[in-house]
Structure 1
């Protein structure tokens, strides 16, 4: 399948012969999360991603998260497989160099506030004259059009205005957030899908285009049926804690050893198997629980009956019983649980990559899995800003050392 594997300490390292996006060159101009996450996803499958940072102004992501020996632990994940150059896009000379680079790339990723690229004389219309096949992936809070387009919009705002925050948490408390930057990640995923679609379309049209992704729209897109629920049924979904309205059983339940497990058994056949696991087969035919609608109407009672069983069984034993009966269930994992889980290891979902300061650096593996041309993490990215300036400016653009030195002195690179 084009791969060879080396197993060290229970973690699989995959060596890739040929990656599916190796013929794609990407110039990444964004900072922080949404734009760079798209660059990471493309780089995972072989795209040559050239990350641009302003000279003397590193991407704040370099210092986000926990740190060890002064190394931010989020950065090697977000910047993996990428090259790093510096370039001052606020100066005309830097803008002209950017145009030279853009003439030689397939994709530009940017996540600035709308109008910023235009202010820098780097509008899509200008760039498309230089490179008609260019695909510009633009991610912003509210998109490139509409009355809110100029508003600043971080992922948290997108989560709020996309409808997610309102339904997250418990009904007797204020709206909560999910423990990760889900708005940015969703936007990056949609932007990457758009990029791949545009690359495919370019194969027969020969033309590039703009991929316009808004944070709030990316969140709203996964919000299931909340709009027809409201417009057609007059129902506004509210915060429900760990349950989904009308869907039961689907909750967390405490076990004998005071551990919480998740059980999802809302389909009729699965619910019957859960009843067998609980040694209460009669519940499957009880009119209060026999149908999806009935279980939704009696969710609170049903949850109490399930927890009456789980509270008598240790978590490990309960999960073994449920797995044997084919009932979806699991622990609520911490990072420790993830690292120790053999399935994560077997699926290569924790890979280690050499880091120049920290040695073996663990990070999430590649998603999704491709059977014939899977992705790979080749390196942790550039520790130093501009680490690949010579490679890109000399090798790709043909600048000589004298010109590079002048650009350095003028703080263009």
Structure 2
């Protein structure tokens, strides 16, 4: 018989008490500079890929100026569910730590203002359709003459070169082109889309890495006497996805194998799968290590499946269906808490599949400080409210990133930033009357 289930949070507490946890000496002195403090970033992107790149840079200390079209702003402000003020909570997260400046890039005067900002910037991030920035006179060749150290970071579906470079490429299309969608699904069925814009986010992550590499390389190139120490960072969404595709290309090249979709399993690694539990819940069990597998079979009472013929992964692949059925027969008799508890006791990797509510309420996630609570608006005038945002990874122990403020209201920083360019209050008001710029009206 199996012992009574213990809630997972009790399991975590007991593990800490018995085994301890790794600890670090963390310095939280606010006087210490953030890694990207002093770096100026100009964001000309919209929606997800470009803005996520700039969000990462801003989280670790960069000053990010986000250019938005007057009146409408970034379309993400109106995507999906809207909050009390008609703005998307998603934007409050993706727009964190940024200064919103409304400038009409379709006007010559607006482009002139943005060019001045670009010439003062260390990094420029854009994810418009290829050719758009050149059409506006804001391409790399238009800026490097006066700002040779600029790290010009571009994100597009297919990159800046090649026969497809001029084509529009949304994340969904690029995920298919990369081969990712082909693998994501069940055999014999249509490929499945994750309910996320995964390609955009991965492209933004790669672009942030590229921007930081560009900044690091800029110092080396400057020391080497290069005339143009800055450079273009060219990120294609489908290439960001290809970076995640592990061994599929060398496997095909050397063995002629085209990896196929495999549902909830991973091809050639057994057992690792999603298994049903009572109450319609599921758990993930990774029992594919040889010694781990033996402990798993002992825990579920199937030591008959751990002897000769099952000792190596190559052996177990031959019996995948039998092994998954045996594990599922066991898990389906128990609550997920109970399954995870027993397997954790046996040092077998296992965990429940969390929905968003589970994540926000999870003890471990909160203990790590991964859920940040910020305020939208002002509590003083009674119009503010709290919002929970995900922190960002990686975690830096001495100079951690932070959310200083949530995504700003549209045009909240227009006057501040344009004043820093030397424009007078009268000139800014004149540009507002002409519809070239817009600022937040209190």
Give the TM interval when normalised to the shorter protein: over 0.9
| 2:302 equivalent to 1:280 | yes
Return the TM-score normalized by structure 2.
0.88
Does the CA contact (< 8 Å) of 1:65 and 1:72 recur in 2? Answer: yes
| C-alpha distance in 2 between matches for 1:126 and 1:281 | 70
Q: Identify the residue that residue 42 of structure 1 maps to in structure 2.
A: 57
Q: Identify the residue that residue 301 of structure 1 maps to in structure 2.
A: 322
What are the residue-to-residue correspondences of 1:370-381 with 2, within 5 Å?
370-381=396-407
Q: Any idea what the Cα deviations from partners look like across 1:47-96, whole Å, max 9, x if unmatched?
A: 11000012223111001122222231111011011000011222222222
Q: Any idea what the Cα deviations from partners look like across 1:150-181, whole Å, max 9, x if unmatched?
A: 11101001100011111111113211101111
Q: CA deviation at 1:2?
A: 3.4
Q: Identify the residue that residue 335 of structure 2 maps to in structure 1.
A: 314
| C-alpha distance in 2 between matches for 1:365 and 1:21 | 17
Aligned residues: 400
Q: CA deviation at 1:314?
A: 2.0
Q: CA deviation at 1:282?
A: 4.2
| C-alpha distance in 2 between matches for 1:274 and 1:61 | 46
Q: Identify the residue that residue 248 of structure 1 maps to in structure 2.
A: 270
Q: CA deviation at 1:17?
A: 5.6
Does the CA contact (< 8 Å) of 1:106 and 1:135 recur in 2? Answer: yes
Does the CA contact (< 8 Å) of 1:99 and 1:130 recur in 2? Answer: no
Q: Identify the residue that residue 106 of structure 1 maps to in structure 2.
A: 122
Q: Identify the residue that residue 183 of structure 1 maps to in structure 2.
A: 199
| C-alpha distance in 1 between matches for 2:375 and 2:357 | 21
Q: Any idea what the Cα deviations from partners look like across 1:87-141, whole Å, max 9, x if unmatched?
A: 1222222222122111211000000111111101111012011111101110001
The equivalent position to 1:239 in structure 2, one of 247, 261, 264, is 261
User: Which consecutive residues of structure 1, in runs of 5 or more, have no partner in the other structure?
Assistant: 5-14
Q: Identify the residue that residue 143 of structure 2 maps to in structure 1.
A: 127
Return the TM-score normalized by structure 1.
0.94
Q: CA deviation at 1:328?
A: 1.1
What secondary structure sits across from 1:285 in the alignment?
Answer: coil
Q: CA deviation at 1:229?
A: 2.3
| C-alpha distance in 2 between matches for 1:393 and 1:186 | 32
Q: Identify the residue that residue 429 of structure 2 maps to in structure 1.
A: 405
| C-alpha distance in 2 between matches for 1:67 and 1:274 | 46
Q: Any idea what the Cα deviations from partners look like across 1:196-228, whole Å, max 9, x if unmatched?
A: 111111122231100000011111111112222
Q: CA deviation at 1:35?
A: 0.2
* 1:256–1:94 distance in 2 versus 1, CA, 3 Å: closer
Q: Identify the residue that residue 336 of structure 1 maps to in structure 2.
A: 357
The equivalent position to 2:230 in structure 1, one of 208, 211, 215, is 208
Q: Identify the residue that residue 26 of structure 1 maps to in structure 2.
A: 41
Does the CA contact (< 8 Å) of 1:16 and 1:375 recur in 2? Answer: no
Q: Identify the residue that residue 417 of structure 2 maps to in structure 1.
A: 392
| C-alpha distance in 1 between matches for 2:418 and 2:316 | 64
Q: Identify the residue that residue 2 of structure 1 maps to in structure 2.
A: 27
Q: Which stretch has the larger CA shift, 118-127 or 312-321?
A: 312-321
Q: Identify the residue that residue 364 of structure 1 maps to in structure 2.
A: 390
Does the CA contact (< 8 Å) of 2:73 and 2:102 recur in 1? Answer: no
Q: Any idea what the Cα deviations from partners look like across 1:302-326, whole Å, max 9, x if unmatched?
A: 1011112212222111111111111
User: Which consecutive residues of structure 2, in runs of 5 or more, have no partner in the other structure?
Assistant: 1-25, 223-228, 378-382, 438-442
Q: Which stretch has the larger CA shift, 168-177 or 142-151?
A: 168-177
| 2:293 equivalent to 1:266 | no
Does the CA contact (< 8 Å) of 1:2 and 1:18 recur in 2? Answer: no
Q: Stretches of 4+ moved more than 4 A in 1?
A: none
Q: CA deviation at 1:358?
A: 5.1
Q: Identify the residue that residue 223 of structure 1 maps to in structure 2.
A: 245
What are the residue-to-residue correspondences of 1:64-75 with 2, within 5 Å?
64-69=79-84, 70-75=86-91
